Amino acid sequence: MRIKSIIFAGGFALMINAATAQNVAPGSLGYYNDALRFSQTRFGGTARFQGIAGANTALGGDVSSAFVNPAGLGMLRKSEMTFSFAGNTANTRSSFLGETISAGNFNLNLNHLGLHFSSDKGAESTVRGSTFAITMTRNNDFQELIDYRGTNNRNSIVDYFLDRTDGRVPWSDLDDELRNGIFSLEGLAYATYLINPFFGDNTTRNSYESFVPLAPTIQAENINRSGAQSQWNLAYGLNIKDKFYLGAGLGIATLRYSQDKVYTETVINSTAPLPGGQRLPLNNLELTEKNRQTGTGINANIGVILRPTDFFRIGASVTTPTVYRITDSYEAQLAVLYNNYPFTEFRNGQPIIRVLSNERARTDMIESRYTMRTPMRINGGAAFILGKQGFITADVELVDYSSARFSNPDPNFSFAGDNATISSIYRSAVNMRFGGEARFGNYRLRGGYARYQNPMQDANDNLSRSFITFGGGLRKENFFLDAAVITSFFDSRYRIYRLPQNEPTVNMSSSRIGLTVTAGFSI
């Protein structure tokens, strides 16, 4: 089982890279991609919080403080219940070999829940108030639909299969997969005759060849991703003389991620007769992959806010690394359509002619469990209160993405390569958030901007993100209603498969637009 896991993960990882650097450590299985996916979170919470781009470290006074800086709970004066719903549109524009295709999808979700119990002990007490809060915050959304298509004159996925196996994988290993259950992409290619033993190698017996035309082909893929990360927080905040606020909390995090991929290659002019009336051996192939990940984790946070004057506040908070236990499942199927090609294979040393037509193979369902530790997050911020007219606030967040780690795999295999890759391709990043609110009687108008720095050491893999937000709200004595629009923009690259040179790469520009509506009631 250990060997199966290593071969499977190595093959699968190279097919899912959304963005990688060249210096991937030997033995990496691809989990370093997950380390970034589950660490590069977004701001969530109430519409008020999102309307100012999440810049709430020093501001406080919102139940969403339980997620970022629980000291801000100490500013709440009365008990309330809040809930938020959100609609999100994700659009991706993919450019591949001169062709550009746009795709998008839409989803609705419960974005936030909050319940807090506040006590106000009056101006005569040293501890003038306290709040206990229970919140749920959706802080990452994996919703994405990607389509691309292009004519590749340089290579084919068959080149990838040959590069992975030729001179490296003994014939006996792939024969063992055919007998006992396929668990690698190379095994699928072997089972469907895309790669075959090269019998000119009678010594090491680990050389392979292919009879199919390798290029040009029309390459296309549909990738459908979904899922989210959310966190339940139990937090407590204190107000000491309206000058000093302390808070601490416990977070229970959850994640679920799904990816369905359908990759096709179609040989150009595959059905046109060649001289002599023959046709090219291969018509097309289709590789289908399904990956599911679910996990539960735990973290803690502490925070402080100083309010030296009525118009100025500074705050800081620390959130410990989140330690997840994740269950991962994967399966794949390969369908290859040949043009009734006569192929000679050897059984017990005897040649047998097999006419290849519609060949199919699939992997076993492969499951694993492991521990993932995401980075610590350190936040600092300042807020300027403009009397009853509104406020301006700013945050700085430090995240060391290179500190993420994997451990405790079941079945047992090594994460040494992935952990080394995480250290070498990721870096510390500074995320900045700015927001403001203007007040007009019972009405509020908000806006914000956030810039999340590139977490990659290689500047060619730029995964920085920008967010622009705006919103508004209505405040009554025992009720409030807020809305926020959140837009984000980022670019990325998708390597279809890895080769020593001429890797086919898709350039993607993504945008997201979300609307969050929050209602709150005094209790």
In order of their start, the domains of the chain are 2-148+215-272+279-330+368-522 (2.40.160.60)
DSSP class of residue 20 equals -
What pLDDT, on the 0 to 100 scale, is given for residue 132?
A: 98
Nearest to 90 by CA among 113, 74, 108: 108
Maximum separation of any 2 CA atoms in the chain, in Å: 101
What pLDDT, on the 0 to 100 scale, is given for residue 7?
A: 38
Nearest to 288 by CA among 219, 334, 223: 334
What pLDDT, on the 0 to 100 scale, is given for residue 274?
A: 62
Run of H or E including 438: strand 428-440
What pLDDT, on the 0 to 100 scale, is given for residue 203?
A: 82
CB atoms within 10 A of CB 26: 8
What pLDDT, on the 0 to 100 scale, is given for residue 31?
A: 93
DSSP class of residue 456 equals B
What pLDDT, on the 0 to 100 scale, is given for residue 459?
A: 83
What pLDDT, on the 0 to 100 scale, is given for residue 462?
A: 86
Compute the residue count for the chain: 523
Q: How far apart are CA 361 and CA 359, in angstroms?
A: 7
CB atoms within 10 A of CB 19: 20
Nearest to 321 by CA among 407, 201, 388: 407
What pLDDT, on the 0 to 100 scale, is given for residue 49?
A: 96
Please report, in angstroms and rounded to a whole number, the separation of the first and last CA atoms in the chain: 55
Is 214:156 a contact under the CB 8 Å cutoff? yes
Please state whether beta strands 217-240 and 208-209 pair in parallel, antiparallel, or not at all (unpaired). Answer: unpaired
pLDDT tens-digit series, residues 324-334: 999 999 999 99
**466-486 burial string, b = 16+ CB within 10 Å, else e?**
ebebbbbbeeeeeebebbbbb
What pLDDT, on the 0 to 100 scale, is given for residue 273?
A: 65
- Considering only CA atoms, give the Rg of the chain: 27
Is 424:457 a contact under the CB 8 Å cutoff? yes
Write the single-letter amino acid at 478: N
Is 430:38 a contact under the CB 8 Å cutoff? no
What pLDDT, on the 0 to 100 scale, is given for residue 10?
A: 39
pTM of the model: 0.89
What pLDDT, on the 0 to 100 scale, is given for residue 199?
A: 86
Low-confidence residues of the chain: pLDDT under 70 = 1-22, 271-277
DSSP class of residue 165 equals H
What pLDDT, on the 0 to 100 scale, is given for residue 122?
A: 81
Nearest to 280 by CA among 266, 294, 293: 266
In 3-state terms, what secondary structure has residue 164? helix
Q: How far apart are CA 63 and CA 66, in angstroms?
A: 6
Specify whether the backbone of 320 is left (phi greater than 0), alpha (psi in -120 to 50) or beta. Answer: beta
**91-130 burial string, b = 16+ CB within 10 Å, else e?**
bbbbebbeeebebbeeeebebbbbbbebeeeeeeeeebbb
Q: How far apart are CA 497 and CA 457, in angstroms?
A: 21
